[in-house]
Structure 1
Amino acid sequence: MFMIPEEPKGLDADESGTWLEVAALMTRLPAALDAQLQRDAGRSHSEYMILAGLSMSTDRRRRMSELADFVAISLSRLSHTAKRLEKQGWLYRIPDPVNGRFTLAVLTDAGWEKVTAVAPTHAAEVRRLVFDPLTKSSSGT
């Protein structure tokens, strides 16, 4: 038996309002976070996320492919950015001792100091831009 597909259902008023807030957040958030990190640390958001991703690993190291997924950038872009961060002395790359086909990015002590110094102001900005508006929306204010 042939089924006629239903027409797509539109968003109701609440869903539409929520979607517009999410869309605005998705549009504005990357630039706002990048501006805060440039101002406070002289780093881009992707550079910060690379350092943060390494800092969250138990041994401060990750395979480059995993790090690219974590930061949501291409492996090629990660390689270029890692090269800049290496010049700053914040990370270095080595062959993976478990499987030499992979490369590990390793956070240096200087990289650890950089990311932990920036983390409080970055967290405050994330709280201000993301969590505070959500809290206000859910409390009805």
Structure 2
Amino acid sequence: MTAESSDAEQAAPRWLSAAEMRAWRGYMDANQRLLDVLNRDLQDNHDLSLADYRILALLSEAPDGSLRMSDLADGVLSSRSRLTHQIRRMESQGMVTRSTCVEDGRGVLAVITDEGRARLVDAAPTHVAGVRRNLVDLFTGEQLEFLADAFQRIGTAIGNR
């Protein structure tokens, strides 16, 4: 914590206005509901969690189907220890393997398997349909552009702190 941020936190709080509170609570509720429904769709139809799906998607998009565990953790916004447990579970289901990074011999790579690719391909239509039904199709193109810009702005601001 910087001196500047700790001073700001010690000052009198800037309480949220009714409009700000409505926006904040609306975001919190909608975000939780959206993630829950997308996770449930994948669990019920493909025995995958949304976290599994995100990992498989990132690995499938990597040029050789593998990423350093540290890069994968950053990509899915997870702690390294949580990701290690997740990868271990996915490895036991045959969706990924782990190997040593040949560049330095110290890093560990997560590698998508043929089984992982097959499960991703099978689950992708369900996931995309859920994203469309519960988010994309609710907005105009202009509204989606605003949402994308807003969330990028939030991500950048938090990432720069």
TM-score (norm 2): 0.71
Question: What is residue 155 of structure 2 aligned with on the other side?
Answer: none
The question of 1:124 aligning with 2:129 is answered: yes
Indicate the residue corresponding to 1:3 in structure 2: none
Q: Which residue of 2 aligns with 1:52?
A: 57
Shift of 1:135: 2.8
Q: Which runs of 5+ in 1 are unaligned?
A: 1-6
- CA distance in 1 between counterparts of 2:36 and 2:142 reads 22
User: Over residues 13-48 of structure 1, what are the superposed CA-to-partner deviations in whole Å (9 max), with x where a residue is unaligned?
Assistant: 5x7665554333222122111111101111111111
1:4 matched residue in structure 2: none
The structure whose residues are more often helix, as a share, is 2
Match of 1:32 in 2: 37
**Aligned residue for 1:76?**
81
Aligned to 2:148: none
Q: How far apart, CA to CA, are the structure 2 residues paired with 1:96 and 1:87?
A: 20
- Tell me the residue number matched to 1:66: 71
Q: Does 1:96 align with 2:104?
A: no
Partner Cα separation in structure 2 for residue 117 and residue 28 of structure 1: 23
Unaligned runs of 5+ in 2: 1-12, 144-161
1:68-110 per-residue CA deviation (whole Å, 9 max, x = no partner) reads: 1111211111111111111111110001101222100011111
Percent identity (aligned): 39
Residue 134 of structure 1 and its aligned partner are, at CA, apart by 2.5
1:63 CA drift (Å): 0.5
SS in 1 for 2:140: helix
Runs of 4+ in 1 over 4 A off after TM superposition: 7-13, 15-20
Cα 1:136–1:20 shift into 2, 3 Å: farther
Moved more, 49-58 or 26-35: 26-35
- Count how many residue pairs are aligned between Structure 1 and Structure 2: 133
1:108 maps to a residue whose letter is T
User: Rg: which structure is higher?
Assistant: 1
